[in-house]
Amino acid sequence: MFYSFDLEIPANTPKRAPEELEVNLTWGVITEVEIRFPPRCGGLAKVKILEHRHQLWPTNLDEWFYGNDETIKWDEYHELFEMPALFTLLGYNDDDTFKHTPIIRFEILHPLAAMAKRGITPSQPTVRRITWEEL
């Protein structure tokens, strides 16, 4: 499953009062995260992602993602087994003239598909026949 969210950030949105978009994701494993900064963002629009109001990405707590006409994308393995899976997308904008709208995307897979994507084989119990001689 793919989720895509537009985070519209008005001009002059301060860091101390960022724009917020709360999203509810589905059960599974986040296997990919992508943040698209459209052209003309100029590094002025900044984004971070929180889960249950705790910062998840970027990992360093005082930082924000930013860019200009680029996509920041990474592989992930983040389990979403407790529902609701509430995420908050935060953004602020240092541009004094234009709004900017970064796009945040998540790929969520069933745990077995997520493990297969990473090349992990789930352990299966083996069934062995017991011969009469072993009894």
**Structure tokens that stand for 27 in this block:** 């059960």
- Report the pLDDT value the prediction gives residue 119, as an integer from 0 to 100: 82
Given a cut of 70, whether residue 129 has pLDDT beyond it is: no
- Report the pLDDT value the prediction gives residue 123, as an integer from 0 to 100: 64
pLDDT digits (tens, 9 = 90+) for 71-115: 999 999 999 998 899 999 999 999 999 999 999 999 999 998 998
pLDDT digits (tens, 9 = 90+) for 24-52: 999 999 999 999 999 999 999 999 999 99
- Does residue 128 or residue 32 have the better pLDDT? 32
- Report the pLDDT value the prediction gives residue 50, as an integer from 0 to 100: 97
Query: 111: helix, coil or strand?
Result: helix
- 112: part of which helix (H) or strand (E)? helix 111-117
